[in-house]
Amino acid sequence: MKEKINPFEYSGKILSALKPGILLNTYDEKFNSMVIGWGHMGIIWNQPTFTVYVRQSRYTKPALENTGVFTVSAPLEGGLSPEVMKVCGSQSGRDVDKASLFTLEPAETNNVPGVAEYPLTIECEVLYGRGQDLKRMPPQVLNAFYGGNPDEEDFHSAYIGLIKDAYIIK
């Protein structure tokens, strides 16, 4: 069962869970989930959105490009389990099947399941995606995250996802 929510009423919970890690789920050839620690929930073009940042090397990156949809899963209390943090935060969907970690719950507006274990769920459709231009980064950011190299190939792309649905899986 799903209890529909206004995601902005849960923004405190979602954003405080974000820094330690929540899940960005995709479904291209298969279900996959990666930990994200960066993101924004807000308004752009008068629409409710959730924006995620994904490095070029992630298995998730072509899945987002190919499908244009994702779900975000966050815990209602506490954080991700150590195992989920390890597998989804450091291993690639190219090498491992992450679906076996979760009880998948079919989504309402796309084919990317949420996960019952982390029930706060936001379904998104990518409105806009763009790679960051490292040549325009402030030096401290370039140094901290991109090895000081403006030609670093493993930069992040931002994907602005239109929030299509939001609920708590019960």
Ligand X SMILES: Cc1cc2nc3c(=O)[nH]c(=O)nc-3n(C[C@H](O)[C@H](O)[C@H](O)COP(=O)(O)O)c2cc1C
Note the residues at the interface with ligand X (CB under 6 A).
Answer: 21, 32, 34-38, 53-55, 58-60, 85, 89-93
Q: Which is nearer to ligand X, 32 or 71 (CB)?
A: 32
**C-alpha to C-alpha distance for 155 and 161, rounded to whole angstroms:** 19
Q: Which is nearer to ligand X, 85 or 101 (CB)?
A: 85
Give the nearest distance from C-beta 2 to ligand X in angstroms. 26
Instruction: Enter the tokens of residue 154.
Output: 């493993």
Give the nearest distance from C-beta 129 to ligand X in angstroms. 13
Give the nearest distance from C-beta 150 to ligand X in angstroms. 19
The vertex-158 CA angle with 161 and 96, nearest 5°, equals: 85
Q: Is 86 in contact with 98 (CB distance < 8 Å)? A: no
Q: Which is nearer to ligand X, 5 or 85 (CB)?
A: 85
Give the nearest distance from C-beta 35 to ligand X in angstroms. 4
**C-alpha to C-alpha distance for 64 and 25, rounded to whole angstroms:** 9
Q: Is 14 in contact with 7 (CB distance < 8 Å)? A: yes
Q: How many beta carbons lie within 10 A of that of residue 9, not counting itself?
A: 9
Give the nearest distance from C-beta 1 to ligand X in angstroms. 29
Q: Which is nearer to ligand X, 88 or 169 (CB)?
A: 88
Please report, as a single letter, which amino acid is at residue 44: I
Q: Which is nearer to ligand X, 5 or 158 (CB)?
A: 158
Going by their DSSP bridges, the two strands 22-27 and 69-74 should be labelled as antiparallel
